[in-house]
Structure 1
């Protein structure tokens, strides 16, 4: 009885510390984003609620309307000039950091249940003698998960460079300047939402206990491998949704908050699959409307 009580107290302490750590990581990520993530402008200045961002591509419309002048008659900066002037090694590093921290801020709420479940499984395994005693390896699980999103961030920055170079994406406000880019991304996201791969990845993300039971690996290295595996499924589930940031604005807080809430609902609600299919219909209609307006 004494051993059981001590194990329960240890499990409760670990859970409290882990929750506190997740909350701190999330708070730091969101704070950095709100402060502009190293950009010259704050995220508030780069945010707007617009269904068709390309219509006002030449007229920055910040949430702080007095902070930036509007010039609807101006022309977009020459893509080649933007590429030559704006994409130094320092900018590349800053953009990778921006995307990665943004992914951490957006995905942490939906992955938190899996992280907590992993910690609980480790402690229960130690209590039953199936896992060697010692520190819980959940931090390595989370590290593996976030490492996958770092890889996604590198790919996103490469795509951002290409879009800015072509002139389809604003180099200063980071939102779409092309109806065809907007419509194409919206249509691709709609199609992917109803694809078998999306359904498989979403089903995995909705069943954390099943993943842990079928993919369990012992030790810190095993925990990291499990985190990488789970992260791969998570990227497979959400990459098309994250690509929507190229439409509304990579640093647009309105779109970031909306996507964060949607991903959370899609993964944690019992009707997550239905939510995903409804979103596909909305995105398809939105894509058609983008071409017509």
Structure 2
């Protein structure tokens, strides 16, 4: 009995081609959103400069800028998870519903980072007040920030969260069985919480380096991306921890390592905080 090879090969359906186009579109969209966020952050950084503390911003303005920063820094590394979830949604939902559900996932993810943004605001306000009253304390605050970040790179919680961020499919499959009410928002917030757990130590170094230091933000974003997506990410994470220990030793004697804790040279008018 002769077998027809054509009968054994699955036909190339238009739906498969559409899926490939949708996947390319999703990657392009995530990249475009991150790029726009980087442009906005760079523009604001030029207007605000690098100073200690919250630079005169209230909580609403700070959180708005913080979310733009998180979109710029985190979207490249979270894109594989978001797109994987969107593809899973695509098997069950029409285009408009899929877009709405994916938006819920992203909103949940950003919600987790917004909560951490409130903590970051408190830390910046506290360190800014200390530096204003005692300028010499900045070098020890900087050394402490690098030390904390370095120690966290080797902590069990960091390793747990990094494992989840590198292989999140187990959690995504578990959430697929949950009731559909705000499920996508919960999935995004849950993954975002793991992401915060993985990356908060890296964000702490922005206190000495400058929360509006674009080069520092870009470096942290690259570290996050490599940690999560490179096959040697855990080894790379340990190397970054060692680098932070070195910076902690150098910080008290090298003020140029602490631009985010240097007292401002002249006050900046609040009218220039946000450009129209």
| Shared fold (TM-score, shorter chain, > 0.5) | yes
- Could you say what secondary structure the match of 1:42 adopts? helix
Q: Which has the higher contact order (CA 8 A, sep 6+)?
A: 2
Moved more, 5-14 or 145-154: 5-14
Offset, 1:147: 1.2
Task: Please identify runs of 4+ aligned residues in structure 1 that moved more than 4 A.
Answer: 1-4, 168-171
Counterpart of 1:178 (choices 123, 127, 138) is 138
Counterpart of 1:277 (choices 217, 225, 238) is 238
Contact 2:227 2:234 in 1 (8 A): yes
Greater share of residues in helix = 2
Structure-2 change in CA distance of 1:170 and 1:111 (3 Å): farther
For residues 181 and 35 of structure 1, the distance between their equivalents in structure 2, rounded to whole angstroms, comes to 28
* Runs (5+) with no aligned partner, structure 2: 1-8, 255-276
Task: Give runs of aligned pairs for residues 1-293 of structure 1, distance below 5 A.
Answer: 5-36=13-44, 41-42=46-47, 45-46=49-50, 87=56, 91-123=58-90, 126=91, 131=92, 135-136=97-98, 137-167=101-131, 178-216=138-176, 217=178, 219=180, 221-293=182-254
Structure-2 change in CA distance of 1:25 and 1:170 (3 Å): farther
Once the two structures are superposed, residues 7-26 of structure 1 have per-residue CA deviations (whole angstroms, 9 ceiling, x without a partner) of 32442343244233312321
RMSD value, Cα: 3.1
For residues 149 and 18 of structure 1, the distance between their equivalents in structure 2, rounded to whole angstroms, comes to 22
Offset, 1:215: 2.9
- Could you say what secondary structure the match of 1:120 adopts? helix
Structure-2 change in CA distance of 1:220 and 1:108 (3 Å): farther
Once the two structures are superposed, residues 119-157 of structure 1 have per-residue CA deviations (whole angstroms, 9 ceiling, x without a partner) of 12222xx3xxxx465632222111111111111112211
**TM-score for both structures, normalised by structure 2:** 0.77
For residues 194 and 107 of structure 1, the distance between their equivalents in structure 2, rounded to whole angstroms, comes to 21
Structure-2 change in CA distance of 1:4 and 1:154 (3 Å): farther
Structure-2 change in CA distance of 1:169 and 1:132 (3 Å): farther
Contact 2:147 2:244 in 1 (8 A): yes
- Could you say what secondary structure the match of 1:108 adopts? helix
Moved more, 221-230 or 161-170: 161-170
Structure-2 change in CA distance of 1:202 and 1:170 (3 Å): farther
Contact 2:161 2:194 in 1 (8 A): yes
For residues 243 and 132 of structure 1, the distance between their equivalents in structure 2, rounded to whole angstroms, comes to 40
Once the two structures are superposed, residues 14-72 of structure 1 have per-residue CA deviations (whole angstroms, 9 ceiling, x without a partner) of 324423331232122111111116xxx436x54xxxxxxxxxx8xxxxxxxxxxxxxxx
Which residue of the partner structure matches residue 269 of structure 2?
Answer: none
